[in-house]
Amino acid sequence: MDADDEVRDPRDARDVRDVQAWRGAVTGALLPFHVECSAPERFRGSIRRRRLGDASLIAMTSRPHRAVRAAEHIDDGPADYLLSLQLAGTAQFRQDDRLARVGPGDLVFYDSSRPVEIVSGEGYRSLCFRFPTDGLGGHRRAGELTATTLDAAHGLAPAVAGLLTGLHEGLERPGGGVRSEGVLAAARHATELARTLFDDELARRGLLGTPDPHEELRARIDRHIDEHLADPGLSPRAVAAAMFVSTRHLHALLAEDGRTVAGTIRERRLERCLADLADPGQAHTPVSAVALRWGFTNATRFGQLVKAATGRTPVAYRRVMLDGTA
């Protein structure tokens, strides 16, 4: 199956000609915002979202406008980081009492769990990479960098920009033959590279404190688990061997976070499966194939876990998520 089949949904692509429609398109593909424009009758914009597992890549073009994400737009759901690459035009991002002005090639990032204001200029065009703040996408000090311009020519910014633009171009290329496995691997790599970019910028600004060895090792454990969820042989023993620690030490490390190794593997596999079952682009993928893709080899056990988490069987959960019917 090509990535176009797996990560694209026609409902995720919108070309709009008025501000009201833009507000709805941005809310559906990105986040809820209040949008205003000095010349609403002349407004034009387009937005396309590609789902990449638990991350997304959103391409946007628009005429000048102001978008405000206020407290009333923010719910109690899981927070995401949004790393925006400016492709053309200019924009301003304001969050956490900081203001970033970006031009072509610059990166800026903001947190979905806090208010933000974005003002786009003429000829605005961007790519926005959205990924979770927890697990693989988490970072203890990344909040120090919200609404901070990450210069196009400095540090890891060119590498991140190149990866995002390359991923976008590969997905947009007709008949490119990009495999879904490669797309998801590239998204994981982009998330990891973003984490490294944060580290690099924090260190350059003197904001990166002395790391906790246990925290660093737990982060490595989480990354290893996320990268090997599809392997049915993933187990506490296998993770411990990959980390060069004893199984006992591995269990103790995660216990400090109130977790178990097996529970973490199970929960993350289930998260990926639920995301795939709710993805319109994968509506024709058999439930059994979704389960096997993420390392569940026992169909009965998989069904029990989905029922415990959602109150529905996998088939019923997919139906209600895609069609809204019980």
Q: Within the chain, which residue ranges are assigned CATH 1.10.10.60?
A: 213-323
pLDDT at residue number 2 = 39
pLDDT one digit per residue (tens) for the chain, 326 residues: 333 434 444 446 688 888 989 999 999 889 999 999 988 888 999 999 998 888 899 999 999 999 999 999 998 877 889 999 999 999 999 999 999 999 999 999 999 999 999 999 999 999 999 988 864 334 556 778 899 999 877 778 888 899 899 888 888 876 544 556 667 777 878 888 888 888 788 877 777 666 678 888 898 899 899 899 999 999 999 999 999 999 999 999 999 989 999 999 999 999 999 988 988 888 899 999 999 999 999 999 999 999 999 999 999 989 888 876 65
pLDDT at residue number 174 = 67
The tokens for 229 are: 């969820």
Among 147, 149, 33, which residue's Cα sits nearest to residue 96?
A: 147
Domain covering 213-323 assigned CATH 1.10.10.60 in the classification: yes
State pTM to two decimals: 0.63
pLDDT at residue number 221 = 93
Strand boundaries in the chain, DSSP class E: 13-16, 34-36, 45-52, 55-62, 65-69, 80-88, 91-95, 98-102, 107-111, 116-120, 124-132
pLDDT at residue number 180 = 64
Q: Within the chain, which residue ranges are assigned CATH 2.60.120.10?
A: 3-204
pLDDT at residue number 191 = 84
pLDDT at residue number 257 = 87
Three-state SS string across 270-299, please? Answer: HHHHHHHHCCHHHCCCCHHHHHHHCCCCCH
CATH classification for the domain delimited by 3-204, as one of 3.10.180.10, 3.40.50.970, 3.40.50.1970, 2.60.120.10: 2.60.120.10
Among 84, 82, 187, 212, which residue's Cα sits nearest to residue 136?
A: 187
pLDDT at residue number 326 = 58
User: Position 37: which residue type?
Assistant: C
